[in-house]
Copies of this chain bind each other. A is one copy, B any other.
């Protein structure tokens, strides 16, 4: 009999709580393995026991349902255990965004007010004068990979505490709308904003991701036979929710710790990792490491999100044996709302699949996704008419934490507004063309900065590119291209690169006003903490004459 067993002869209502994600692996994966980098391994049997141990540790500290427990760690077995034990106790898991500046990290902690913190010692410097700067934290549990003794102010080291705790715990049932996790977006304007998800939302998102990812053909689809490793930080919207997915299926899992390219490729090789997900920057890092050692990724399936997968990068990945494709969403959407879908039985080649791989995909089952014109009317599905992507799904943040004005703006008209500009065709294939605030309006017409970036990125000299709108007396705005050149392309001139935009215009791919008025070579392009181009900063630097 399981936890929560009731002797009453009445139907079980089955709340959609995170505990239920363990039902299937408890049957199918008792002897399946979970690895932490090159350091440790556990069977699921042990994993279940360790979740119980962690629950006993947390409750022994006096922590209760409704309390918030924060985690600062690299991607580890500990983080996975926290994903389950903390919310299964009815507590709220705060996954601290360690890519923020120290000031903003402190802001997020003081805004969410966790009572306990699971702290990897490597991040100790980030949280300042702990007692003074994070007054809500009563207990710190020390996470350590280097044999550094747990400092005085902590309650002890994680593994030691687990060793001493009982491996039995009965997790209660409770309302599925209980908040399970909270995470702060990096937001380029103002303070980070907290998104939060209930148990129900996390369970339904996991089911949605399976539907979106598994209906694809073997070459790119999620399978019972997969070996899973995340390369999206576990703090980032629950690692895109995929650790929950992998666990509920019962897959072999690898948690890689800090992202060190050589170790990542080693782990892929050693464990035959077959399913992962990351942002383009990480993919580039993986490709570089793979090329340096002439490594074939052997059909590794990889979801790309966070920012655009360019055709150039997709081709490079495919050439290295990585089956890349796009999924789309944002922190506010838990995050997955679309996945690239392949409705073919033919083997996927570069020729027949590149456009789909690099598209934004189609809505996952249950997702109500629409493209709205300024008027709030749905645009025709003609693959051309652009508008803002708005959505309803069962897994969207219902507001921003303690910031309901921003939450109401997010939900204008009862749909969540993504601030992404896209079009959709008659088969539901979506293409995000721009961020609403990054879109360029020239002569009254929209120019897709992403489209221009895509075209110019095909030039062999281009390592990185950003296109922004700059004020123009005649046209309102005109596109400006900023390009980081690869080494050994000194001879290439701005006009050489812009020639690709001219060709695209001549072939009818872009309008004439889409050709940038100017292309400037720069040393680097400012990025946000999660590796996206920070167009707000770029625009400011350009305006100030500093870029």
Tally A residues with Cβ within 8 Å of B: 82
Which of A90-98, A362-370, A474-482, A486-494 forms contacts with chain B? A362-370
In the bound complex, CA of A232 to CA of B405 (Å): 51
Point out the residues of chain B lying under 8 angstroms from A6, CB to CB. 413-414
**Residue from the set A28, A367, A376, A381 with the largest chain B CB neighbour count within 10 Å:** A28
Point out the residues of chain B lying under 8 angstroms from A249, CB to CB. 211, 215, 365
Minimal Cβ-Cβ distance residue in B for A393: B14
Which of A120-128, A181-189, A318-326, A423-431 forms contacts with chain B? A423-431
Minimal Cβ-Cβ distance residue in B for A367: B23
Could you tell me if A215 and B207 are in contact, using CB atoms closer than 8 angstroms? no
Q: Decide yes or no whether A293 CB sits under 8 A from chain B.
A: no
Could you tell me if B225 and A345 are in contact, using CB atoms closer than 8 angstroms? yes
Interface mask (A389-416 → B, CB under 8 Å = 1, otherwise 0): 0001110111100000001110111111
Could you tell me if B12 and A415 are in contact, using CB atoms closer than 8 angstroms? yes
Which of A59-67, A216-224, A280-288, A309-317 forms contacts with chain B? A216-224
Name the one of B214, B342, B407, B424 contacting A214, with C-beta atoms under 8 angstroms.
B214
Point out the residues of chain B lying under 8 angstroms from A369, CB to CB. 23, 27
In the bound complex, CA of A341 to CA of B223 (Å): 10
Minimal Cβ-Cβ distance residue in B for A225: B343
Point out the residues of chain B lying under 8 angstroms from A20, CB to CB. 366, 368, 394
Tell me, rounded to whole Å, the shortest Cβ–Cβ distance linking A393 to chain B: 7
Which residues, 20 to 47 on A, are CB-close (under 8 Å) to B?
20-21, 23-24, 26-31
Point out the residues of chain B lying under 8 angstroms from A378, CB to CB. 1
List, sorted by A's number, 11 A–B pairs whose CB atoms are closer than 8 Å. A5-B413, A9-B413, A10-B408, A11-B398, A20-B366, A23-B368, A27-B369, A27-B428, A207-B366, A210-B210, A210-B215
Residues of A within 8 A of B (CB): 1-2, 5-14, 16, 20-21, 23-24, 26-31, 203-204, 206-208, 210-211, 214-218, 221-225, 248-250, 341-345, 362-370, 376-378, 381, 392-394, 396-399, 407-409, 411-416, 424, 426-429
- A12-B416, A221-B223 known; 5 other A-B pairs, CB under 8 Å? A1-B370, A27-B428, A207-B365, A215-B223, A224-B342
